[in-house]
Amino acid sequence: MGNEEKGNSLQPTDERVQSIFGERTLRQLRWLPGACVIGPRRDVLLFGIGAVAALAGGGFLLPQDTLSRMGVRRNMNSPGKEWFLNKALRIDDDVAEALYSKNRRVPTYAKSQITPLKNNYNGTTPDPGYISGWNLTLDGLASGLSISLDIRIS
């Protein structure tokens, strides 16, 4: 009551809310006669320079095999490139460590909470004959072995 008498209420009035969220009148912009021509040209040049710099920087980070396929024959494997990529990976690892803490646990569910997965075959589930000849070969393992996996239907 005391605040209302003084006119300094903590509750916003309708006029105050309308002034905050209401539509404001548009400002008129005045241009000098040559400014419309100079501004866009400068913007296009700056955008072009920025695009070329981004393309060159991104190209510098590509693997040597990819650069060779693109026609760049010069060896671009430098210690600076390795350092930059290692720092980027370190930042990625730090973020992952912060987001996925060892103290947080993955939720577990009771058997009654498990629901069947929706299939991804336009509503029809393929018969087992569809995948009888499927296999997957894993090459380049750290052990040096090559492993072939298949589906056995019993």
More confident of the two residues 77 and 52: 52
Q: What is the mean pLDDT of the chain?
A: 77
What does the domain layout of the chain look like in residue ranges? 36-99
pLDDT of residue 90: 92
Q: What's the confidence (pLDDT) of residue 49? A: 95
Closest residue by Cα to residue 132 from 112, 105, 147, 152: 152
Output the pTM of the full model. Answer: 0.34
Q: What pLDDT, in 10s, does the model give residues 82-91?
A: 888 889 899 9
- pLDDT, average across residues 7-29: 67
Contact assessment for residue 153 and residue 132, using Cβ atoms and an 8 Å cutoff: yes
pLDDT tens per residue, range 109-128: 888 988 877 777 676 776 66
